[in-house]
Structure 1
Amino acid sequence: MFTNFHTHTYLCGHAEGWIPDYVEAAKRVGCRALGFSDHCPYPAGDSRCWPEIRMTADEAEFYVNGIRLAASCSDFPIYVGFECEYDKRYYSWYKDELRGHWQADYLVFGPHWVANQKDFPYVPTVTTKKEVHAYFDGVIEGIESGLFNFVAHPDLIMASGRDWSDDLAACFSHVIDAAMAHSLPLEINGLGNCRTAVKSREGIRQPYPYYKFWELVKEKGATVVCNADAHRPQDMAPFVESARSYAKKFGITPIEDIFSV
């Protein structure tokens, strides 16, 4: 028995399967609640927002209707969600379009990039302290926006084997404090725990979750949710189990319902 609120479909261009495929996979393992959270569309015309890894705005209605149809035939709850980066320039888009017009049940904050004025670089690749600090400032701003139900892969910046430092520890500490102040769960991400290992000064390790971050989370007592981040139906159950097993290593008891926090 499990819940999963981080699920993608083929609409994002880098996942497999459609809504019924994930529902059937969830049903086979006794899923108690399933949330779809494909990468949100952005307004047409902004090429910085990585349009190649997300549905278009024109496809959003198809996506939402497919989930609502599946929910109407299911014996467990199925929710409409979107995974979003945060950029204050799109605040009304998240609030009025995703939550308003398309009636999303929830929004996931998935901070993948540094929202600068040029190219929105992928955060595991950034190297300068200025970019790193800009990224963390953006994460905290997103948490404080009040738009989201949880933070996905909050330790994604460690994915390329980045070295831990006192500066990173301080930045992560501020993120955890902000999440706690706004009652926003932090996600242990099953996909990251099952990805190809990376090289670091500590040796070979998983890209993320990163243990020193989760030691801080446990120490501070932040709320945690475990999700698959499934990009294939067959990965959903094992990835959730991987995330839950990781939580147990730290004595963390994850929540099962993101709507009751």
Structure 2
Amino acid sequence: MNNYHTHTKRCQHAEGSVMDYALQAKKEKSSVLGMSDHTPLPDGRWPHMRMALSELEEYIAEIEAAAEALPELRILKGVECEWSPEYIGFYQEELLGKHSFDYLIGAVHWFPHHGEWLYIGDADTPPRLVSYARHMAKTIESGLFTFIAHPDGFGLGYNQWDENARACSLDIIASAEACALPLEINGYGLRKKKVTSPTGALRRPYPLDEFWQLASGTKIQAVCNSDAHKPSDLFSSVDQARALAEEFSVPVIDPFER
């Protein structure tokens, strides 16, 4: 079992170093570990949930040192990214070019709505859900990313399944299918505190069963990751994510399987 969505203490809301995760991967007999902390951004936007640009070289050096110390483990150099047009040059020329990153994960934690950036948890009205879906489509269509993290993360804010949630999901699935881009079934969402729907029922914020049921029968492929925020969770909930994919007949792939 491999994991490609892994955060270190540099993102300010996780624990552990690259070596801590590498040793955990070795302990659990994994062959590949993908490190993917939240990327720094050249304009310093959203600094509370990502490393600073000044930390990028240290992050790279830490990955390379762990790979040298544990040659039996293939450690991939990645980051989790927000999409915005002004970052294209940084992603292409600096990360993928100069620093030879192995992969970039696309994710929407923030989305533009009527001239301001809103957090994913604020996608709580139909108009905001439309803005989220549009931004997710642009993220997918950018061609920069190996897969999309928690595409159904809008469930953090939009706490009911209705025609608006369905339309949002269909738009995201259609974009990913057209671009042949895998979508992630995210294990962190499986471990998060459940939210209350308008009917009073408890449900997880994501992944959403209804989203993946819509993906069933399409050409969508899934990547199952733990989205680890501490070394002990390196493979947490991955089996449960795979079970969800199997339930809805969505094929699971390993994007870096040789």
> Normalising to structure 1: TM-score of the pair?
0.92
The answer for the alignment partner of 1:32 in structure 2 is: 31
Query: Residue 126 of structure 2: which of 107, 129, 132 is its match?
Result: 129
Instruction: Output aligned runs, 1:167-186, within 5 Å.
Output: 167-186=164-183
Contact 1:7–1:230 (CA<8 Å) still a contact in 2? yes
Partners of 1:56 and 1:117 in 2: CA distance: 28
Change (3 A) 1:50 1:118: farther
Query: Which secondary structure does the structure 1 equivalent of 2:31 belong to?
Result: strand
Change (3 A) 1:76 1:149: same
Q: Percent identity?
A: 38
User: Across the two proteins, how many residue pairs are aligned to each other?
Assistant: 256
Query: Residue 86 of structure 1: which of 83, 86, 91 is its match?
Result: 83
Alpha-carbon offset, residue 14 of structure 1:
0.5
The answer for the alignment partner of 2:53 in structure 1 is: 57
Partners of 1:30 and 1:246 in 2: CA distance: 24
Change (3 A) 1:94 1:36: same
> Normalising to structure 2: TM-score of the pair?
0.93
Contact 1:161–1:198 (CA<8 Å) still a contact in 2? no
The residue identity in structure 2 corresponding to 1:57 is L
The residue identity in structure 2 corresponding to 1:5 is Y
Contact 2:14–2:230 (CA<8 Å) still a contact in 1? yes
Deviations 1:14-39 (A, max 9, x none): 00000111011111112121101100
The residue identity in structure 2 corresponding to 1:40 is T
Partners of 2:256 and 2:205 in 1: CA distance: 25
Contact 2:107–2:149 (CA<8 Å) still a contact in 1? yes
Instruction: Output aligned runs, 1:39-78, within 5 Å.
Output: 39-44=38-43, 46=44, 49-72=45-68, 73-78=70-75
Unaligned runs of 5+ in 1: none
Query: Residue 222 of structure 1: which of 220, 223, 226 is its match?
Result: 220
Query: Which secondary structure does the structure 2 equivalent of 1:120 belong to?
Result: strand
Alpha-carbon offset, residue 165 of structure 1:
1.8
Partners of 1:233 and 1:248 in 2: CA distance: 26
The answer for the alignment partner of 1:243 in structure 2 is: 241
Contact 1:150–1:258 (CA<8 Å) still a contact in 2? no
Query: Which secondary structure does the structure 1 equivalent of 2:167 belong to?
Result: helix
Change (3 A) 1:226 1:96: same
Deviations 1:97-145 (A, max 9, x none): 2212222110000111113576521122233433221211111111111
Query: Which secondary structure does the structure 2 equivalent of 1:178 belong to?
Result: helix
Alpha-carbon offset, residue 169 of structure 1:
1.3
The answer for the alignment partner of 1:197 in structure 2 is: 194
The residue identity in structure 1 corresponding to 2:181 is L
Deviations 1:156-203 (A, max 9, x none): 001246111223212211211211221210000001011111111351
Query: Which secondary structure does the structure 2 equivalent of 1:179 belong to?
Result: helix
The residue identity in structure 2 corresponding to 1:178 is S
Deviates more, 1:114-123 or 1:50-59: 114-123
RMSD: 1.8
Deviates more, 1:213-222 or 1:79-88: 213-222
The answer for the alignment partner of 1:255 in structure 2 is: 253
Partners of 1:199 and 1:161 in 2: CA distance: 11
The residue identity in structure 1 corresponding to 2:31 is R
Query: Which secondary structure does the structure 1 equivalent of 2:235 belong to?
Result: helix
Contact 1:188–1:224 (CA<8 Å) still a contact in 2? yes
Partners of 1:127 and 1:210 in 2: CA distance: 16
Alpha-carbon offset, residue 205 of structure 1:
0.9
